[in-house]
Amino acid sequence: MPLEAFEAGFLSLLPPIIAIVLALITREVVFSLITGILSGTLIYSIASGMGPKAVFILALEFMSSRVGANSHMIIFLLILGALIAVITRAGGANSYSSWASKKLKGPKSAGLAVSFLGIIIFIDDYFSCLSVGRMMRPISDRHKISREKLAYIIDTTAAPVCILAPVSSWAAAVIGMIDETATITGMEAFIGSIPMNLYGILSIVMVFWLCIRPKDDFGPMAAAQARAEGGEIKAPNSDEAPDEISAMEVSSKGRLLDLLVPIVVLVTASIIAMLYYDDASLALALGGFLSLFIAFFMYVPRRLMNMKHFFSSAIAGVKSVTPAIIILCLAWTIASVCSQLLSTGDYVAGLVIQSRLPVMLFPPMIFVTACLLSFATGTSWGTYGILIPIVVSFCQMGSPWLFLCSLSSVLAGGVFGDHCSPISDSTILSSAGAECPHLDHVKTQIPYAITVAAVCVIGYVIAGFTSGMGYLKSIVITLPASLILLIIALILIPKTKRSRN
């Protein structure tokens, strides 16, 4: 049924706040998200006079619509779970682990291997989170990298990398949003924004820094790493279910190509389909189907497994991603309730416009706004849909020289929330890929994300004041200054923590 959005003001922030607070208190993400969704539909039902029945009807309608709208992505995740399971059973993952174990001599090289693999798989953050976690978890465990640290590396080389890659599902979404509103093409604007996407660039720098200098971990992550170095890789409060995939009988005949060929087919086919179709999710699903098809004819005729084992493994893989998909569907639903029923984005955007700060402070202001909005709603794409039109119209009204800088700040701020919000899809999938309790991943990662975001605020202040000199000169000043500030922070923060202890 058609519904008219309600201008809920501050009340529009309650559903995500309730979901996040409950998640941190109860450690039950599904319960927290459902409660957040129902609180949003309750607010709307009371305001619109629809009655108590509407609370549940609206929740179910929005859930079913989001599942339908994201059906290709759900199919892709199910196929990906099946693909990872059959690759594991065929011995492909074990052969990679054996090969990597000969090359990797310690936690530094293991952490760097995870980081490079995450960057190589740049086409989609969902694919990166699940596949990198599955492939690298045995290696990171062997080298005493905590599950929290593994989840952080996976998460940081997923969304922050995708937002910097012109050929990715993220680029496709952002380019479409820019094309609808801006006077230049979406691809030109996206490529132009890359050098000033400070959060994406600095997050990648930070993850490599902490892989090379593992003693510089700080906050809850340092405690998790100390526990892992003592032999306790998993968190003591972990109540994860037995991993059906890990318990499968693995073929001893598997080779490295049994891992590489299906993944290369998936990435290549997805890129080709993405260039042909406008729907990135459809392209990923098509690539997944083809990769699973190729895997069947690679494994069964060579008797790495029989047909029964192939399909039982695929079903086990589907089961393994089902919990993450349930959380994803709930996260999508609460984002829709906030945007389509309560006008959360319009409320936050209105606060930005009414602030009347100097125009040079628009980039840092829009960055902070995007951070808060994406963290509260758990969606960077939703944040982009709300804020990109505001940036375009604001800059067209009298500050065209600020456009690329301001666009970069929106894209960077959106990644922040997607990177660390408890209700973000990539955060959820990073936890699943690393088999790390979700809230332990959130708790250990947030101090790192906030450190990068704080440096980005200063960087966008510099960018705002130097944009009048020309965009290229602004990049030359802003990016090195931001990198230097981050490195200073990464040197000083661990020393400060150690001195206090």
Residues 46-99: tens digit of each pLDDT: 888 887 878 898 889 888 988 887 788 788 878 878 887 888 788 876 777 677
Domain encompassing residue 49:
25-69
> 64 in a domain, yes or no?
yes
Measure CA 405 to chain center.
22
> 247 in a domain, yes or no?
no
Give CA–CA dist 494/442, Å, rounded. Answer: 19
- Checking if the pLDDT of 241 tops 50, the result is no
Which residue, among 246, 183, 203, 212, has the nearest Cα to 404 in the 3D structure?
183
Three-state DSSP class for residue 241: coil
Q: Which residue has better confidence, 377 or 447? A: 447
Q: Mind giving me the DSSP string for 123-177?
A: S-HHHHHHHHHHHHHHHHHHTT--HHHHHHHHHHTTHHHHTT-SSSHHHHHHHHH
Give CA–CA dist 79/296, Å, rounded. Answer: 13
Contact 414, 370 (CB under 8 A): yes
- Checking if the pLDDT of 104 tops 80, the result is no
pLDDT for res 75 = 86
Which residue, among 362, 379, 317, has the nearest Cα to 463 in the 3D structure?
362
Q: Mind giving me the DSSP string for 89-111?
A: HHTHHHHHHHHHHHH--SHHHHH
- Checking if the pLDDT of 182 tops 90, the result is no
Question: Which of 39-43, 388-392, 441-445 has the lowest average pLDDT?
Answer: 388-392
Give CA–CA dist 374/430, Å, rounded. Answer: 17
| Percentage of residues of the chain with pLDDT beyond 90 | 18
pLDDT for res 494 = 83
Which residue, among 434, 141, 385, 88, has the nearest Cα to 262 in the 3D structure?
88
Contact 10, 347 (CB under 8 A): yes
> 388 in a domain, yes or no?
no
Over the chain, what is the mean pLDDT? 81
Place of tokens 């959060």: 199
How long a stretch of residues is the chain?
A: 501
| Mean pLDDT across 412-438 | 85
- The tokens describing 129, both together, are 């989170």
- Helices 169-179, 186-193: axis angle to 10 degrees equals 120
- Checking if the pLDDT of 242 tops 50, the result is no
pLDDT for res 172 = 61
- Checking if the pLDDT of 333 tops 50, the result is yes
- Checking if the pLDDT of 302 tops 60, the result is yes
For 300, other C-beta atoms within 10 Å of its C-beta total 18
> 203 in a domain, yes or no?
no
- Checking if the pLDDT of 205 tops 90, the result is yes
Q: Which residue has better confidence, 341 or 250? A: 341
> 32 in a domain, yes or no?
yes
| Mean pLDDT across 363-378 | 84
Question: Which of 42-51, 284-293, 484-493 has the lowest average pLDDT?
Answer: 42-51
Contact 106, 215 (CB under 8 A): no
For 45, other C-beta atoms within 10 Å of its C-beta total 21
> 34 in a domain, yes or no?
yes
| Mean pLDDT across 304-309 | 90
In this prediction, residue 398 has a pLDDT band, given cuts at 50, 70 and 90, of low
> 272 in a domain, yes or no?
no
Sign (positive or negative) of CA dihedral 366, 158, 429, 439: negative
> 44 in a domain, yes or no?
yes
Reported pTM: 0.71
- Checking if the pLDDT of 294 tops 90, the result is yes
Contact 353, 17 (CB under 8 A): no
| Percentage of residues of the chain with pLDDT beyond 70 | 83
- Checking if the pLDDT of 110 tops 70, the result is yes
374 to 102, 198, 335, 340, 386: CA distances (angstroms)? 41, 16, 10, 15, 10
- Checking if the pLDDT of 269 tops 80, the result is yes
| Mean pLDDT across 21-44 | 80
| Mean pLDDT across 191-196 | 89
- Per the structure, how many domains does the chain have? 1
- Checking if the pLDDT of 280 tops 60, the result is yes
pLDDT for res 367 = 92
